[in-house]
Amino acid sequence: MEPILELAGLSKVYPGGLKALDDVDLTIRKGEIFALLGPNGAGKTTLIGAVCGLVRPSAGTITAFGHDMARDWRRARSRIGLVPQELSTDMFEPVERAVSYSRGLFGLAPDKARIEEILRSLSLWEKRDERIMALSGGMKRRVLIAKALAHEPDLLFLDEPTAGVDVELRKGMWAVIDSMRERGVTIILTTHYLEEAEMMADRVGIINRGKLLMVDEKDAMMARLGRTEAHITLARPLDMIPPAIAKFPVELEADGASLCYRGGDGTGKGKAEVAELTKALIGSGIDFTGIETRESSLEDIFVSLLGEEGGAA
């Protein structure tokens, strides 16, 4: 697929010496939702800032829509939208005027119909004459999205769109993001909610301490790192693993009182194997009183990756 954004060797050292981005290479494809996942202080906002002109890179190149950001920034920026992490906007301004201003600022002719469409799609139309300070936090966030969409960008950055937002609103936000994707907008979002990346993203990049540790299709990442874990509570403890189930990746736990299966690859292979295993147990007359299975989430992947990195450092 054609790349819409390419970062090569991107680094940022803040005054004071903190290396917030460390030699990042990343290619974003047209039309995808890319989730940048990492703990606080990982460098997510810095990465977005570098692309959007808020942060001056210390090294590396940024190419957006084939334009070199350092030279052709005008043309590149006119196609990029940014929803910042902080709710920063002129609180005294009415919603519709704020959104129209954003469109004008990006050099586009006024278009009432287009602004109305954007406001309606974000359920803000009824609030168009309200001052932004009179809106709830969730609505303020949507105003910032409306402002970012006002110039009809092809690439949209959402910096922690659901941080500090309750579960209901978060689901609403996911629906909004989905509808933007349907309109063909390429979306890069940052989050530290793993569930969010798992729900929304086509691809996921994991970043920590300025280093992009891993980038992959979400499904492939799950397949590569995903695991099924099953705990089978035995009716009678075992001394050793019976030969009938030796071909499975199982271990005895709790002095033989339970059997633990760890295997599969996040594609469902694990579940099938657990089914096989239980049949084999019944076949060889080993009784059990309970089964508990769990698919590992991005969170587990994340924790193990960060653990490896921490160990190496």
Contacts to ligand ADP by CB under 6 A? 14, 16, 18, 20, 38, 40-46
Give the nearer residue to ligand ADP in terms of CB position, either 68 or 86. Answer: 86
80 in contact with other proteins (CB under 8 A): yes
Site string for Mg ion, 75-104 (x = CB under 5 A): ----------x-------------------
- Cα radius of gyration rounded to whole Å, the chain: 24
Site string for other proteins, 4-23 (x = CB under 8 A): ----------x---------
Q: Shortest distance, CB of residue 181 to other proteins, whole angstroms? A: 21
Give the nearer residue to ligand ADP in terms of CB position, either 159 or 198. Answer: 159
Give the nearer residue to ligand ADP in terms of CB position, either 41 or 137. Answer: 41
Give the nearer residue to other proteins in terms of CB position, either 18 or 282. Answer: 18
Site string for other proteins, 37-66 (x = CB under 8 A): ---------x--x--xxxxx----------
Q: Got the DSSP string for 52-78?
A: HTSS--SEEEEEETTEETTTSHHHHHT
Burial 176-198 (b: 16+ CB within 10 A, else e): bbeebbeeebbbbbbbbbbebbb
* 147-186 positions binding other proteins, by CB under 8 A: 147
162 in contact with Mg ion (CB under 5 A): no
Q: Shortest distance, CB of residue 173 to ligand ADP, whole angstroms? A: 18
Give the nearer residue to ligand ADP in terms of CB position, either 19 or 269. Answer: 19
**Closest to 41 in 3D by CA, of 194, 210, 212, 159:** 210
Backbone angles phi, psi at 199, to 5 degrees: -75, -45
Site string for other proteins, 112-151 (x = CB under 8 A): -----------------------------------x----
Give the nearer residue to other proteins in terms of CB position, either 83 or 225. Answer: 83
45 in contact with Mg ion (CB under 5 A): yes
Closest residue to Mg ion: CB criterion: 45
Residues near Mg ion, by CB under 5 A: 44-45, 85
Residues near other proteins, by CB under 8 A: 14, 46, 49, 52-56, 73-75, 77-78, 80, 82, 84, 86, 88-90, 92, 97, 101-102, 104-109, 147
